Amino acid sequence: MACFTIQTARAQLTTPAAPVPSQIQQAQTIFLTNSGSDPNFPIDATKAYNDIYAALQTWGRYKLVNSPDQADLVFELKGIDPITDLGGYRGGVYSVTSPAFQITILDPKSNIALWTITSPVNVTGKNQVLARWVSISETNLVSRVKVVAGQSLSPDETDDLTTVPKYHSARTILIVTGAFVGTAVAGGLIMYHLHENALASMKASQDAFCTANNIPLSQCAGG
């Protein structure tokens, strides 16, 4: 009886998901606009725009048009790089940023934002390794659009969506003021702190999306 009561109470406390605006699932045409990126965004905004444009074309759910006047929806793409952590060590000050691709879906008639979708950018490794993680982040952005549009994801898309690199080297800015922060110990402690915060931020973002879309948390962000 007690178990039943607890389960019932939990069910009553569960907040139902808010409905997706009908325009998003009914739309046939979209205009993808490149809004650039924040100053510290570590990925070339034009290349990301071209990649995501191509991915939306390949998907084929929406027809991409050449002007907002022809579109049922406007997809505003931007690279964002918000500061997610600040700290100091022995007179030095550092900040941590968490870059992400963001699409804001707008009603072209009213210019009202209907939905905002973000996908964390995993800035890990160099050259081919980095390119792979950026590609996954771009794919994940389109996957999130698919979910909002009411389309189920393939197993491969779900795997990519819930993947985080084992060793994540976050894009960071280190601002030194006052005493010099350059010893191996200080540097190691700061980088460890940045690493932990970057992983926590990424996992929180992935978990929130998975929870909203009924993807088991055991599959999100490495579990």
Q: Would you give per-residue pLDDT tens digits along the chain (223 residues)? A: 455 455 555 555 556 677 889 999 999 999 999 999 988 888 888 999 999 999 999 999 999 999 999 999 999 999 998 876 666 666 666 667 788 999 999 999 999 999 999 998 887 778 888 888 899 999 999 999 999 999 988 888 888 887 766 544 444 444 444 444 444 444 444 444 444 455 555 566 666 666 665 655 444 544 3
Sheet holding 92-97, edge to edge: 83-89, 92-97, 172-175
Integer distance in angstroms from the first to the last C-alpha of the chain?
Answer: 32
Q: Please state whether 136 falls in left (phi above 0), alpha (psi between -120 and 50) or beta.
A: alpha
| Longest Cα separation, the chain | 63
Q: What pLDDT, on the 0 to 100 scale, is given for residue 124? A: 72
Is the pTM for the entire model greater than 0.75?
A: no
Question: Residue 182: what pLDDT?
Answer: 44
Distances (CA, A) of 128 to 18, 47, 193: 39, 15, 26
Is CATH 3.30.160 the classification given to domain 27-222? yes
Structural contact between residues 186 and 57, judged by C-beta atoms closer than 8 angstroms? no
